[in-house]
Amino acid sequence: MSLRQRRARILATLGPASSTETQIEALVAAGADVFRLNFSHGSHEDHAERYACIRRVEQKIGRPLGVLMDLQGPKLRVGTFAAGRVTLVAGTAFRLDMNPQAGDEQRVCLPHPEIFAALEPETDLLLDDGKLRLKVKRCGADFAETEVLVGGVLSDRKGVNVPGVLLPISALTEKDRRDLDFGLQLGVDWVALSFVQRPEDVTEAKALVGDRAWVMAKLEKPSAIEHLNAIVAAADGIMVARGDLGVELPAPQVPVLQKRIVAASRRAGKPVVVATQMLESMIKAPVPTRAEASDVATAIYDGVDAVMLSAESAAGDYPCEAVAMMHSIIHEVEADPGWRSNWHGSRNAQRQSTPDAICSAMWDVAEYSGCAATVAFSVSGFSVLRAARERPRTPVLGLTPDPAIARRLALVWGVHPVVSEPLDSVDHMIHCACEVARQQGLADTGATLVVIGGIPFGQVGSTNLLHIARV
C-alpha cells in the first residue's frame, strides 16, 4: 500500500464496529493512519486483540501504523436514586452529600470528597453533560446545599462537572495506572491523558511512561487553558478534546479556544489533534452535514497534525465511509492553492538552537528550490518533529532505525515514517536518503532532496547538517 499523499493524518477509534483484522485493514485503505484504543470501554482482552490485528495489518501493508491508548481519567458521578431517576425543578433546593443511601428529589450521594473540598458558595455544578445546572449556596467538607438553576431528569450515576474549579485530584486513577501498565506492555505508541488540569499532571504521567511511548495531553478542562503554554511544553502532543471542554465552557468559546490551542501547539512544534463530533451525524448516516465538513476543513486550514473520529468509526453504521469522507475533505483542502497561506506566522517562534536553525533553513530550501522531498534522519524523532513544525511544501520522509519511533511519527503532519538501517557516515546518509525516497515513490531519478541529520550519528538532538542531494 503506497504512502499517503495528504499531509494531515486521520486518527480512528476502534470499537464494536471495527474490531476485526478485515475491518481494520479496510479502515487503513479508507485513510486511517493511527488507531485509538479507548480504555473507557472494553476489556484488556478486547484491546489486546485489536492491537494484534493492527500489527498484522501493519505487516501486511508495509507501513508503520500508530496506536494511541486513551486513558479514562477520573469519572465524577452522583450515586443512585431510590426510583432510578428524579426530576429536578428550577428554583428548588437540592442537596449533595456523602450519605450512601439512595437519593430522592431532595438529595443524592456525591461520593467525591475532593469535590466538596474545592467548592465555595456561588460555584456552579453541571450534571449529566451539562444538561442540568446547580448553584452552591452553602457547603462543607461532606455536603453542598444547592439551588437548581436548570432542571430536568437526573438518573443514576450521571456525571458531574465543576467548571472553573481546580480539583485536588490526580489525572491518573488506580484504573488508569493498571490500564497504562497493560497498554505499555502491549506496545502502544501514544498515551492520551484525560482530566489534565495543570502541567504537573503531564509530568506525573511521563514519569510512569518513560521512553516507552509519547504522552498526549487532552485539553478538556478550563483550568488547563489557564496553564496552556506550560502543558504544551510538558507534553509530547496535544488533543483538543471538545466534548468535556464544551460541557464546562459556553459553546461559543470552544472554537476560539480550539484555534488558541492549535496555535500554541504549532508554535511549540508539538503534534496537535482535534477531536470529538467531527463527523457525528455519520454514526447513523452515510454522509455528514455541511457544517461537519466545514468543521474538519477548518482544522486542516489551521494546520493540525490529525483529526479524530470517535463513535463514527468505533460504533457507527458507516465506519469506513466516515474515514473515507474525512480523507476526501482533507484532500480537497490540501488541493486549495490558498491552503498554506496563513501559516507563515507560525514560523516566527523564537529559535535559539542549531536544530531549529537547520530546520528553518530547510523550509527555505524546500520552498524555493523545487526539491521533491525533505528527508530527516532521527533516532529519537526530534529532527523529524522539528522538520514537520515548519510545514514545508514538500513531504517529509522521516527515517529512523527504531520501529517504535516510526509508529509514533505516523501521527505527525506530512511525515512518511520509514524504518531505516543505522548510519555510519554522511555518504551513507545521503545514499540511504536517495534510495528510500526513490523506493517510496517520493522522488524520481534526477530529482533533488533536502536532507537533514546530525553528526555524530545516533546522538539525540544533534541535528546540525543540511545537504541538498540528487537522486
Closest CA to 131 of 107, 106, 154: 154
User: Chain-wide mean pLDDT for the chain?
Assistant: 93
278: CB partners within 8 A, 6+ apart: 292, 295, 296, 299, 307, 308, 309, 312, 326
Tell me which of 41-45, 48-52, 146-150, 382-386 is least confident: 382-386
All structural domains of the chain, each given as residue ranges with its CATH number in brackets, are: 9-73+171-334 (3.20.20.60), 85-161 (2.40.33.10), 350-470 (3.40.1380.20)
**What is the spatial distance between Cα 276 and Cα 217, in angstroms, rounded to a whole number?**
15
Read off the pLDDT band of 85 (50, 70, 90).
very high
0.75 exceeded by pTM: yes
- Statement: residue 366 has pLDDT above 90: no
pLDDT in tens, 306-319: 999 999 999 999 99
Least confident of 299-313, 345-359, 383-397, 411-425: 345-359
Catalytic-labelled residue, pool 55, 75, 77, 175: 77
Q: What is the pLDDT confidence band of residue 362, given thresholds at 50, 70 and 90?
A: confident
Q: What is the pLDDT of residue 461?
A: 65
Burial of 393 (0-12, 13-18, 19+ CB in 10 A): middle
Tell me, what's the pLDDT at 351? 60
d(CA 110, CA 79): 6
What pLDDT does residue 1 have? Answer: 46
Predicted pLDDT at 347: 56
Residue 458 in this model has a pLDDT that exceeds 70: no
Contact 300, 262 (CB under 8 A): no
| 218 in active site | yes
The question of whether 276 is a catalytic residue gets the answer: yes
| Window from 11-20, 161-170, 345-354, 456-465 with minimum mean pLDDT | 345-354
Q: Please tell me the predicted confidence (pLDDT) of residue 355.
A: 80
Tell whether the model's pLDDT for residue 281 goes beyond 80. yes
Closest CA to 115 of 132, 101, 134, 131: 134
Catalytic residue among 6, 7, 9, 36: 36
Q: Identify whether 135 is a catalytic site residue.
A: no
List the single range of 232-241, 327-336, 371-380 with lowest mean pLDDT: 371-380
Strands 190-193, 66-70: pairing kind: parallel
236: nearest Cα among 407, 40, 381: 381
- Catalytic-role residue among 107, 218, 266, 407: 218
Strand pairing class (396-400; 373-377)? parallel
Starting at the edge strand found earlier in the chain, the sheet holding 448-454 runs: 415-419, 396-400, 373-377, 448-454, 463-470
Instruction: Quickly state the pLDDT bin for 237 (edges 50, 70, 90).
Output: very high
Q: Which of 276, 394, 448, 463 is catalytic?
A: 276
